[in-house]
Amino acid sequence: MDTTSWPNQDCPVHVAALTPGEGERIVRVMRADGTVTPPEPCRDAHELKRLVHHERPEADLHDPAQIFWADHPGEWPR
């Protein structure tokens, strides 16, 4: 169980920056109990939605206050 310090308790989803040559973005989700998921690779919006729905079903991925994109919001590797 990871209890990593979380920069913004009100923003349950963090999507890491795009990295050249990588085929995915790393995503972490703060669960309702305050624990944090291990880093999960997501290749696209479908995988992001599946991960978040599993860990934090009430999170709204269309609400910028609930999802932090390190850069290029909504963009995925090609």
- pLDDT confidence bin for 6, thresholds 50/70/90: confident
- pLDDT per residue over 10-68, tens digit each? 789 999 999 888 899 999 999 999 899 999 999 999 999 999 999 999 999 999 999 99
- pLDDT at residue 9 is higher than 80: no
DSSP string across 58-77: T--TT-TTTEEESSSTT---
Domain count, the chain: 1
pLDDT for 55 equals 96
pTM: 0.87
Return the bridge partners of 27, or none.
Answer: 15, 40
Residue 51, phi then psi, degrees to nearest 5? -65, -50
Q: Does residue 50 fall inside a structural domain?
A: yes
- pLDDT confidence bin for 4, thresholds 50/70/90: low
Residue 13, phi then psi, degrees to nearest 5? -125, 130
**Radius of gyration (Cα) for the chain, nearest Å?**
12
Q: Does residue 75 fall inside a structural domain?
A: no
Q: Does residue 5 fall inside a structural domain?
A: no
Q: Which residues constitute the domain of residue 35?
A: 13-69
